Chains A and B, each alone.
Chain A
């Protein structure tokens, strides 16, 4: 008995050794499959389907059928969708540098040795991030509309005409401003946290070498927080491509924001207003792939520069 039990227990141990990590991973795998893989698979399935009429007549019934690449073709050839991509890019060119620039500036200021009321300032800058995007857009909407805007009121008192915050190109800045207001705090916290992780000995060495605070910031802090900048930059790019709630909330107040102003609005419109789930799914797949490609390219580009060749 003992002679035979030895190898079998050994196998059991090996089986256990192989099974254990899977066991621990099971909850994650199950959730990942349920809430990510299956919906994505379903969306891809839907993107090849569409409603077509069955039975003739003016009131023939719409039936879901396989339509091949029709949905992809119409998404890619739809001028509205492509124009929407152009708009988010323009918006991103304005919003991303200003959000990251200000976030970095605030983080560096908070990190200078003699700063006062650091805790208060940090919270105050972070606070707008806690306001939901839709609420923030509504608040800013009221500040932008001529009849309710104190800014316009002041401008008129000072002799300037009524300000049009929804015209071109002002609209892009108005939207970027909302992103700025709510996004700076979040990015600042990430950069600030990364700044606090830098050992103080490096600064001491720099000061002994006679470096000013400005030089320390420029030559030591910024290069050392570059990974955090890449991270926040990547988040901002993805966030930009997924721009939705600000323009969608401002739309009813303005003439200039169409229902398909940005890609996500277009997708929403197709799915929930035009009852074209297939078209919406195809547009979503295209958008997701686009985001993936851009993210990978950005990462590859910055990885080499910030993390060195071994990364």
Chain B
């Protein structure tokens, strides 16, 4: 028998009841207390989480990812900014130049670190708690409309617990000439940052947004949900740079609803975290287009899971997807990509690709592309590769004076760099490049020559 309170005595249900009990003390401090619709939504989400707990590998969409490490800990949210110890110099290294920046510290909007000067008056950019106070009607119209909390319990967890987030509303026909960066930082050990973001681009608007997730070297939990609404013929590009601490747990979901003729591009750079899972779900309307790009780099014992779903709901929509993974040491990468073509979605044009490069015998890639097609006049393709560096290419480089180790580094870098090169925002491109270079042996990759 294990002594009560010892780690081995933990069961998942105990962890859940501890979270549920903890919730009672935290609830009064969560934003939106005066909003009955939100209270009802949170109560429903809490009930769902209490009943289901965290996702289990028994669920098909979680079969490669075991989150039991989260259950063993009790991460605690901060109720406000007080007590957050922010290293301003460290934070600065993640801030982009020439961007509007909204900083969330341990799940709370920090006006002190944010940069919103010169934002066009017609555009709304504010923390979610502020938005719930100032524009509750607008938030109500969108919150939970792209992310379905019945989908899995992390969404429910986020809905019940979220403390703050980003709220962006770009009005019709407005083109934002600078990107908006959401800089999400966690500074405390055993901390929990639960944030909810809403991005709305009205008809014919254009916007570029960058989600950056970073944390100091400690174990913590990020559970973020971003809902994106792309209006008629609007164009949204969303970058996600996930650079969490190597002990952190990251769950991040992006849920996108596209109107007719809307365009959406996603660049997902999954580099950090001990265990990181990202879900990207896109609903496509008539003749809309989406492009999903992803790069995951795993070293040591990292587990990085990316799960995408593209719903072709109406005719003539186009989707393009390319995810690449590089896995070294004992890292494990998971890619699950689903494309669902509804009966009504004739003339769908869809391509999905996942390519994995394994650098060590102990690294693992699990990849599962799924096409579900209910229409009969569509063009859908998918491809998957899991492999090692090509020996022919290594010899070719050696025959051009490059030693074998450098040749391997060059080829590994080149494999990843295809995705980095798709980033057209200079400041972000350079930061992503740096992040790639620090994760893999860079001897032989000369930055000055690129």
Q: Do the two chains bind?
A: no
Measured CB to CB, the residues of B under 8 A from A are none
